[in-house]
């Protein structure tokens, strides 16, 4: 029987959380009294996560596990989950219990009332550093001013998604995955659901500053072309300045007053700086075009448990012609 609900749980080195997470998820899902599956994506964990997940798959018929051949990142793991989910409604939830499973029934209620995407909006965030909260706020402001105000703030990946919207995401071939942006882009009836985000149940965050910056860059570069145009506007301003200076030099020449001293080197430095930064912005986009054009599979499934029929054992290319 096809499940009504698919839970998608990306796991990277979560050995201390898995058991408790599964217990709480199962309790909530049993109360909903509908067939469900729990899809755990082991994103190349190096601790005991793989074995624990296989144990769960043995004990619980609702469990499916995908083991990646290597760490591909949270957004890719969730994408794989979306690809393999069979439910009518998909729920994306972290493995560390920061997103309380008890919120799921409220999401389901909104879904039954007609919403196609119910995204969790954080009211409180426990156990996060000041730095993370502040940078997140600035970032969403920047992203929204660049991308036309389409992205809800204080929103992560914790959400319920109707299978119709999931189908749209499956059809999006891009490798630079910024899922919350992709969901916003998909449209449909979307609703916010306020919740309090908890601290991690155990362990530490796997989102290093580097990964966070990468995700932030994906968001801006994937959903806004404006940065590509900045150098153009700046360049035009500088051309105008150059024109004025040229005219001034001509006037000075005819009045026999010579030319103004330090201005030139200053302008030279500034000009070079501008050219270089323009090239840099072009490069940022070009790098992404290159990455997309390579068209490599987004992830590689090394092993799978609990699926019927089994997904292709080794390669799972995202692109379906």
Interface contacts to ligand UDP, rule CB under 6 A? 10-12, 14, 43, 71, 73-74, 77, 94-96, 98, 205-207
Task: Say which entry of Mg ion, ligand UDP, none residue 37 contacts (CB below 5 to 8 A, set by partner kind).
Answer: none
Query: Is residue 43 near Mg ion by the rule CB under 5 A?
Result: no
* 121 is a site residue for Mg ion (CB under 5 A): no
Looking at the Cβ atoms of 94 and 162, the one nearer to ligand UDP is: 94
Task: Report whether 206 contacts 13 (CB < 8 A).
Answer: yes
Binds Mg ion (CB under 5 A): choice among 14, 37, 43, 96 = 96
| Residue span 49-88 as binding mask against Mg ion, x where in contact by CB under 5 A, dash where not | ----------------------------------------
Which of Mg ion, ligand UDP, none interacts with 99 (beta carbon under 5 to 8 A by kind)?
A: none
Between residues 225 and 291, which has the closer beta carbon with respect to ligand UDP?
A: 291
- Whole-number minimum distance, CB 45 to ligand UDP, in Å? 8
Q: Six-digit token pair at 275?
A: 């050219």
| Spatial strand order in the sheet of 63-68 | 190-197, 117-125, 155-162, 89-92, 5-11, 36-42, 63-68, 299-305, 315-316
Three-class SS of residue 278? helix
Q: Which residue, 116 or 200, has its beta carbon nearer to Mg ion?
A: 200
For the chain, count helices (H), then strands (E). Answer: 10, 9
In the bound state with Mg ion, the residue whose beta carbon lies nearer, of 203 and 311, is 203
Asked if 85 and 8 touch (Cβ cutoff 8 Å), the reply is: yes
The site partner of 10 among Mg ion, ligand UDP, none (C-beta below 5 to 8 Å per kind) is ligand UDP
Residue 98 touching Mg ion (CB under 5 A): yes
Question: Got the DSSP string for 74-132?
Answer: HHHHHHHHHHH--SSEEEE--TTSSS-GGGHHHHHHHHHTT-SEEEEEEEEETT--HHH
Per DSSP, 190 falls in state E
In order of 157, 172, 186, 251, the CA distances from 115 in angstroms are 17, 21, 13, 68
Binds 121: which of ligand UDP, Mg ion, none (CB < 5-8 Å by kind): none
Binding site for Mg ion (CB under 5 A): 94, 96, 98
């Amino acid at each position: 029987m096809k499940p009504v609900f698919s839970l998608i749980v990306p796991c990277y080195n979560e050995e201390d959380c898995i058991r408790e997470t599964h217990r709480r998820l199962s309790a909530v899902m049993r109360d909903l009294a509908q067939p469900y599956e729990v899809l755990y994506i082991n994103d190349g964990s190096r601790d005991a996560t793989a074995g624990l997940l296989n144990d769960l798959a043995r004990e619980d018929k609702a469990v499916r596990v995908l083991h990646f051949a290597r760490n591909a990142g949270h957004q890719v793991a969730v994408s794989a989950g979306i690809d393999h989910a069979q439910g009518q409604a998909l729920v994306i939830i972290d493995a560390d219990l920061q997103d309380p499973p008890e919120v799921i029934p409220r999401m389901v209620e909104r879904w039954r009332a007609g919403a196609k995407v119910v995204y969790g909006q954080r009211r409180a965030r426990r156990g996060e550093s000041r730095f993370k909260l502040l940078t997140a706020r600035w970032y969403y402001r920047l992203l929204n001013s660049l991308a036309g105000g389409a992205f809800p703030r204080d929103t992560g990946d914790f959400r319920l998604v109707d299978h119709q919207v999931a189908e749209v995401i499956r059809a999006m071939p891009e490798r630079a995955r910024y899922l919350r942006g992709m969901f916003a882009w998909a449209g449909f009836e979307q609703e916010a659901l306020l919740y309090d985000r908890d601290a991690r149940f155990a362990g530490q965050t796997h989102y290093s500053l580097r990964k966070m910056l990468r995700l932030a860059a994906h968001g801006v570069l994937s959903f806004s072309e404006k940065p590509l145009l900045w150098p153009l506007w700046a360049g035009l301003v500088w051309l105008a300045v150059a024109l004025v200076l040229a005219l001034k030099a001509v006037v000075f020449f005819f009045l026999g007053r010579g030319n103004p001293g330090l201005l030139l080197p200053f302008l030279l430095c500034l000009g070079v700086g501008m050219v270089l930064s323009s090239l840099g912005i072009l490069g940022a986009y070009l790098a992404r075009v290159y990455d997309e054009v390579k068209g490599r599979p987004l992830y590689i499934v090394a092993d799978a448990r609990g699926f019927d029929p089994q997904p292709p054992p080794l390669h799972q290319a995202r692109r379906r012609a």
